Structure 1
Amino acid sequence: MADLEVWQYACIGLLFVWSGFVRSGLGFGGAVLTLPFLLILLNAPLVFLPIIAVHLLFFSALTIGLAKWEARRRREADQNTPADTVNWAFLRYALPLMLVPKLIGVAGVITLPADVVSAFIFALVSIYAVSYILNRPFRSGSRRVDALFMIIGGYVSGTSLVAAPLVVPVAASRVRREQLRDTLFVLWFILVGIKLAAFVISGVDLQWEHHLWLLPCAAVGHVLGLRFHRFTLRAETSMFFRVLGGGLLAVSLAGLARIFLGY
């Protein structure tokens, strides 16, 4: 990024503020809702992907740690308060389905053109998103369909950054909203950790010098996102699902724009 103009650096900093806000506010979408705009400024995915991956690992671990500490403190005052903000049962269900497809995707084994797969996913998830926005969330009603979504999500996670639109609807139907964000954070931590290890093995530059100024930018967005997340938890259930649906729809539209506009 050495040849960029000052205004481009400023835009990149603001986009990482946005990335931190979305990540901590919703628990997903920090990469997908940011990367298309970053690539307009500098069309070099391997410059930004390692930075985003490291940020996700750092802030997800920080958020989960703080959430567990707050949950224990609340439980001391009220024994009816759940002791954990992570739904480990869902992770035990999801990870066995996702890990092998994830490794296949990381290895670069392509069965269909990536844009075809992504476009199909984004179009499908747009339907889910609209149903959430209209407060009429629907479920597949089939364990096999849910499992298929998780398997495809694992593969797509290995090849790109669009697993959330497939995984989030399944998780939202199985996990209480108070646990949804932190459960997703643990899942992303594991999956992104595998992706980052692949970067290291492949010799990809992790851009450590740019973390010095982009990490504080993401931290500002992270704090704002935490406040937004608390607001959604206090809001009524219909409001929560509308926010969830709005996030999914924004992710899907950003992904479709990237595919059809070719950036």
Structure 2
Amino acid sequence: MLTDFSLYQTLCIALVFVWTGFVRTGLGFGGAALGLPLMLFIRDTPLFWLPIIGAHLLFFSGLTLLNRLHNVDWRYLLRSSLYIIPPAIVGVFGLVNLPVLWLNIFVYSITLFYGFIWLLDRGIESRHPWADRGLLVLGGYVAGISLSGAPLMVAVFMNNVGKRQLRDTLFVLWFILVSIKMTTFVALSVDLHLTEALTLLPVAAIGHLLGLKAHDAIMRNDRLFKRWIGGGLIAVSVLGLGHL
């Protein structure tokens, strides 16, 4: 329960969920990848945060897609899902069964990787079909175990989906992956922390609305935004790994 946290921790949680909502709609991806490392400073248990993030993602992506399903590249989404969904399911079982320390090391390590490539403005690029498939498989596994696989899969989707359809197609993909994760949680009797998710929903909605308004500006300054974020991710990851 959120009442278990101090007032200072509760304020920090609220700010982090505003941030995740902002990133999710501002970039179209990355809410979990950029939010979970910060959440682990408050409580270092991924299985506490991921069901809450998942519930929010289902709500906001569903809300965003309500009148946007016509703008989804269904053909490529179905084709890529063959490589994404099986490893994502494997990743969910890893999330439930691996030791917390291993999960935290994994989250901070993948975040550190994202931080360096964004800070150095390198990006994740795919130029061959076999590389596309490899990134989709890896991204699916990372998404299954931590919901942080978006940047890996986005690198592939950007080359195969038109810019106008990209964000809506990605939102459908996140909805599918999180639905699989949440269904698996229910089947394995993992606490979904729905009370906490509902409590934090208005806070995340603030970030969601801010992200919608800032989306076009972020896309126009995508490289600069990611370089600043990359530096922050490196700092957070180094501190997180140092505290483990």
Query: What TM-score, normalized by structure 1, do the two folds share?
Result: 0.77
What is the aligned counterpart of 1:260 among 220, 241, 244?
A: 241
What is the aligned counterpart of 1:119 among 75, 87, 109?
A: 109
What is the aligned counterpart of 1:148 among 117, 134, 157?
A: 134
CA 1:67–1:130: 2 relative to 1, 3 Å: farther
Q: Percent of counterpart pairs with the same letter?
A: 41
CA RMSD of aligned residues (A): 2.9
CA contact (8 A) 1:121 1:165 kept: no
Deviation at 1:56, TM superposition (A): 0.2
* Whole-Å separation in 2 of the counterparts to 1:14 and 1:63: 22
CA 1:127–1:210: 2 relative to 1, 3 Å: closer
Unpaired stretches in structure 1, ≥5 consecutive residues: 69-83
Asked if residue 203 in structure 1 is aligned to residue 189 in structure 2, the reply is yes
Deviation at 1:249, TM superposition (A): 3.2
Deviation at 1:228, TM superposition (A): 0.9
Query: What TM-score, normalized by structure 2, do the two folds share?
Result: 0.83
Letter in 1 for 2:127: G
Residue deviations 1:208-258 (CA, integer Å, cap 9, x gap): 22233200001111000001113345x3xxx34544x44873686377437
User: Which SS does the other structure have where 1:206 is aligned?
Assistant: coil
Asked if residue 220 in structure 1 is aligned to residue 206 in structure 2, the reply is yes
Letter in 2 for 1:196: M
Letter in 2 for 1:104: V
CA 1:168–1:246: 2 relative to 1, 3 Å: farther
Residue 177 of structure 1 corresponds to: 163
* Whole-Å separation in 2 of the counterparts to 1:207 and 1:55: 12
CA contact (8 A) 2:37 2:107 kept: no
CA 1:159–1:247: 2 relative to 1, 3 Å: farther
User: Which SS does the other structure have where 1:25 is aligned?
Assistant: helix
Deviation at 1:8, TM superposition (A): 1.3
Deviation at 1:7, TM superposition (A): 1.8
* Whole-Å separation in 1 of the counterparts to 2:118 and 2:67: 31
Q: How does 1:10-159 map to 2 (within 5 A)?
A: 10-67=11-68, 84-108=70-94, 115=105, 119=109, 122-123=112-113, 126-127=116-117, 130-131=120-121, 139-159=125-145
What is the aligned counterpart of 1:191 among 161, 177, 181?
A: 177
Letter in 1 for 2:153: V
Residue deviations 1:123-158 (CA, integer Å, cap 9, x gap): 3784366346xxxx6743211011111111112222
User: Which SS does the other structure have where 1:107 is aligned?
Assistant: helix
Residue deviations 1:70-101 (CA, integer Å, cap 9, x gap): xxxxxxxxxxxxxx432223312310111111
* Whole-Å separation in 1 of the counterparts to 2:41 and 2:64: 30
* Whole-Å separation in 1 of the counterparts to 2:81 and 2:67: 24
CA contact (8 A) 1:18 1:221 kept: yes
Q: Between Structure 1 and Structure 2, whose CA radius of gyration is higher?
A: 1
**Runs (4+) off by over 6 Å:** none
Deviation at 1:107, TM superposition (A): 2.7
Unpaired stretches in structure 2, ≥5 consecutive residues: none
User: Which SS does the other structure have where 1:96 is aligned?
Assistant: helix
